[in-house]
Amino acid sequence: MGAAEKLHVDDATLSREAQAIITGNDRGGYTVPTAGLYPYQWNWDSAIVAMGFAAFDLDRAWAEIETLVAHQWPDGMIPHIVFHKEAPTYFPGPNVWDTGRPVPTSGHSQPPVAAFCAEELLARDNGALGQARAARVFDALMRWHRWWHDYRDPGALGIVAITHPWESGRDNSPDWDEALKAVDGSNVAPYERRDLKHVDAKMRPTKEEYDRYIALVEFGRSLGWNARDIGQRNPFFVADPGTTFILLAADRALLRMAKFLNKIDDVPVIEEWIARAETGVNRLWDASQETFAALDLRTSKHGGGVSNAAMLCFFAGVGSNDQRAAMIGHFRRIRAKTGFGVASHDPDQPNFDSIRYWRGPVWAFMNMMIGRGLNEQGYEAEGHQVWEDTRALLSGYGFAEYFDCNDGSPAGGGAFSWTAATWLQYAA
Ligand code: 9WN
């Protein structure tokens, strides 16, 4: 593909545009990721967008997270999609999931970024009202984090599994390729992909992958979406470096909130989760590739390779000196091979694809977390580079869903909420 024409947009204009995107995608109490392609409320998108709203409307920022947690399940799970109003432009919709919730939702979760987003809101709004809102959100997030630790880490290993590639939020990452082979997608009910009406097929998952995604939805539905049964029987149960690192960073945020909000009884519980994860993450270390990587909990095999999710080890504040040195080595090697960091998959691997979704492209909101982690852990030159690359992408190519890591071409949906929120969060 030829390089897209480059824009030259100054910071103030970018901030105005970013604000207009978020408010344009506001559907009243919740924000859609982008019109058409994703017409519902997505979990981690929404939490990131709350941080964007916080730059100009704190009340609306809280409302975004409050709406999300209002759809928590009785077992504590906060679902990955809330289907507020049925929309014909997305598949699979509420009837396919069939979760039986009063307001329909999907049947699994998404990476728990909400706690550190809520902490950010509390830092900007810590008067009596802000504290009261934070305390209610805290209670819901505490239950959600408990759900992750109980149901997605049933062996108390300190690493959390996902039961569907969609639960990782990194749908077609090569991290899942091997484990997905255990999922039979050959007998799924006929369906029509609606994503391909909005986005070029070369930027999206393949039909074979989609068949398996739908087979996993059918399997979860056949178990009545019971989280314990799914943990025991789902053919796909893979510890995810992304979700594990995000949960650990979010547990740390939850701990700080618990202390600030005087939720004293919760403190030792969270401390135990953190301690378990700090040692547990070593199980994700793939010595043969010298990286943190996915671990198939059914086969005990590592899969995938160096991903942008693995780079979240810094955000989680983990890793021995040797592990950190290896990850920084990968960061530099990969950045030297691409036009923009941080590539979602390793360009030295044969299954790398610079434009196909989570197999190479850069995601701005992931960069926000990676850059923050690098800075916090003292890798300031790399942290600065991540920010400069993100700024160059947004000012040069707009607020796309993701970007070709080689030439920066905007890819996926346009006018994208969490990309806009990332700019506002960085710029504010
Ligand atoms: C499935 C909304 C979501 C993001 C995910 C991203 C993509 C959905 C899809 O869009 O996934 O959940 O249909 O492709 O991979 O991270 O939350 O922006």
Pairwise CA distance, residues 339 & 405, whole Å: 6
Q: Using CB atoms within 10 A of its CB, is residue 204 exposed (0-12), middle (13-18) or buried (19+)?
A: buried
The closest of 284, 286, 345 to 161, measured between CA atoms, is: 284
ipTM over 0.90 threshold: yes
The closest of 380, 422, 379, 376 to 399, measured between CA atoms, is: 422
pLDDT (tens digit per residue) in 178-232:
999 999 999 999 999 999 999 999 999 999 999 999 999 999 999 999 999 999 9
Catalytic center residues: 171, 401
Are 273 and 149 contacting, i.e. CB atoms less than 8 angstroms apart? yes
**CB neighbour list of residue 317: distance below 8 Å, 6 or more residues apart:** 248, 249, 252, 373, 376, 377
pLDDT (tens digit per residue) in 399-426:
999 999 999 999 999 999 999 999 999 8
Residue 389 in contact with ligand 1 by CB distance below 6 A: no
Q: Which atom of ligand 1 is nearest to the CA of 417?
A: 18
Domain boundaries, the chain: 11-427
pLDDT (tens digit per residue) in 286-312:
999 999 999 999 999 999 999 999 999
Whose tokens are 């709004």? That residue is 125
Written as six digits, the tokens of 77 are 């799970």
Are 260 and 122 contacting, i.e. CB atoms less than 8 angstroms apart? yes
Q: What are phi and psi of 130, to 5 degrees?
A: -60, -40
Say how many Å lie between the CA of residue 80 and the centre of ligand 1: 9
Q: Which atom of ligand 1 is nearest to the CA of 357?
A: 15
Q: Using CB atoms within 10 A of its CB, is residue 409 exposed (0-12), middle (13-18) or buried (19+)?
A: buried
pLDDT (tens digit per residue) in 251-289:
999 999 999 999 999 999 999 999 999 999 999 999 999
Q: Looking at residue 302, what DSSP letter applies? A: E
Residue having the nearest C-alpha atom to atom 6 of ligand 1? 169
Question: Predicted confidence band at 30 (pLDDT cuts at 50, 70, 90)?
Answer: very high
Considering the chain, what is the average pLDDT of its residues?
A: 97
Say how many Å lie between the CA of residue 14 and the centre of ligand 1: 24
Pairwise CA distance, residues 84 & 39, whole Å: 9
- Residue 349 clears pLDDT 50, i.e. is over it: yes
Residue 331 in contact with ligand 1 by CB distance below 6 A: no
Residue 373 in contact with ligand 1 by CB distance below 6 A: no
Say how many Å lie between the CA of residue 43 and the centre of ligand 1: 10
Residue 209 in contact with ligand 1 by CB distance below 6 A: no
At the top level of CATH, the class of 11-427 is mainly alpha
Global confidence as pTM: 0.98
Residue 33 in contact with ligand 1 by CB distance below 6 A: yes
Q: Which atom of ligand 1 is nearest to the CA of 418?
A: 18
Q: Identify the three-state secondary structure at position 239.
A: strand
Pairwise CA distance, residues 100 & 52, whole Å: 32
Residue 213 in contact with ligand 1 by CB distance below 6 A: no
Q: 128-151 vs 241-260: helix axis angle to the nearest 10?
A: 140
What percentage of the chain has pLDDT greater than the value 90?
Answer: 97
Say how many Å lie between the CA of residue 25 and the centre of ligand 1: 16
Say how many Å lie between the CA of residue 81 and the centre of ligand 1: 9
To test ligand 1's pocket by mutation, which of 110, 166, 195 has the most ligand atoms within 8 angstroms of CB? 166
